[in-house]
Amino acid sequence: MTASRVRVVRASPGLVWRALDGDDVIGAASAFLRPDGRWFVHIDLCRDDSYEPLLAAVGENTGSDLYAMADERDKQRLALLGRLGFTVNRRESLVVIPTDPQITGLHVTDEPDGVVIISANDAYEDQLRLLDDALRQDVPGSSGWKWDPGDFNEETFGHQFDPATYLVAVEVASGEYIGLVRVWKRPGKPRLGLIGVLGPHRQQGLARILLARVFRVLHQRGQAEVAAEIDETNAPSRALLLPLGAKVVGGFVEFIRPHGAAQ
Ligand SMILES: CC(C)(COP(=O)(O)OP(=O)(O)OC[C@H]1O[C@@H](n2cnc3c(N)ncnc32)[C@H](O)[C@@H]1OP(=O)(O)O)[C@@H](O)C(=O)NCCC(=O)NCCS
């Protein structure tokens, strides 16, 4: 067996690794750490003998399991991740949901007694962040999520923010934030980022009320559809969203490679 000539260097700045053969760059990987402590890695499709050394270097630097996402139709990437020791962790359906109330059956109604709905623009940011953290504990694949306040501000109020489609439900008596819906602005279709209600307030129609309000805004603007991802195991979310006339248009697969799983 000949010794491999491939060496891996971490490129500066940022979390990018390059595989070199002599002076030739033969592969690259990038990684980012999510607020739930999961490291996601993206490998460029390149020379076959670059992949394993790249992943080994990323794994060694992060000291962590590695996660990767792939489009379910991207057979080449699915096969590659399988060869590199990744296994399927979970799957998401990509759906488009109409906003027309005649199709969804979502008609705007009053808030439930003791609840008001406000725009995220008028919310206390720290309270909103803690609600977001709490809701994500119940979203498959994001348990353990804990925002850094600065990152939350950047993501929430960045270029995707739309104050008319990011709403928060507040319990009047306690002032507690108990649910939210957010639809992000995007080129093409707007995207449902999250619909969530805290445990004690579920199954009282609040999610449907929140969705009805933001979908009305979108429908009135002529935005006929919203894109959303739904985890295949998230039964409440599927039961809420699929009957609105949602069409499944694709899917994503999340993979995991346990730390130290060198091939
Ligand atoms: C999904 C979620 C937002 C639903 O909120 P909710 O306020 O309880 O939903 P609603 O009361 O408006 O329910 C509307 C419909 O959804 C369906 N539904 C909601 N929760 C359900 C459950 N646990 N089991 C079965 N169906 C459910 C029902 O069809 C219900 O209509 P019905 O009450 O007339 O039967 C809530 O369970 C939640 O916050 N989950 C955690 C966060 C999450 O996973 N969000 C989705 C990811 S984007």
| Complete domains list, the chain, with CATH | 3-91+253-257 (3.40.630.30), 94-251 (3.40.630.30)
The whole-angstrom separation of Cα 87 and Cα 70 is 12
Give the phi and the psi of residue 247 in degrees, each rounded to 5.
-115, 135
Q: How much distance in Å is there from the Cα of 128 to the middle of ligand 1?
A: 20
Q: How much distance in Å is there from the Cα of 239 to the middle of ligand 1?
A: 7
Mutational pocket test of ligand 1: of 117, 177, 203, 213, the residue with most ligand atoms within 8 Å of the beta carbon:
203
> Looking at ligand 1, which residue's alpha carbon is closest to its atom 39?
196
Strands of the 87-98 sheet, one edge to the other = 6-11, 16-21, 24-33, 39-43, 66-71, 247-257, 87-98, 225-231, 191-197, 177-184, 166-171, 115-119
Q: How far is CA 169 from the centre of its chain?
A: 21
Query: Which CA distances in Å does 176 have to 113, 163, 179?
Result: 14, 20, 9
Whether the per-residue pLDDT at 14 is higher than 70: the answer is no
Q: How much distance in Å is there from the Cα of 113 to the middle of ligand 1?
A: 19
Average pLDDT over residues 144-157: 96
The whole-angstrom separation of Cα 194 and Cα 135 is 9
Whether the per-residue pLDDT at 56 is higher than 80: the answer is yes
Q: Are 262 and 149 in contact (CB under 8 A)?
A: no
Averaged confidence pLDDT in the chain? 95
Residue 261 confidence class, pLDDT cut points 50, 70, 90: confident
DSSP reduced 3-state for 239: helix
Tell me how long the chain is: 263
Q: How much distance in Å is there from the Cα of 229 to the middle of ligand 1?
A: 15
Ligand 1 interacting residues, C-beta cut-off 6 A:
135, 138-139, 194-197, 202-208, 234-237, 239-240
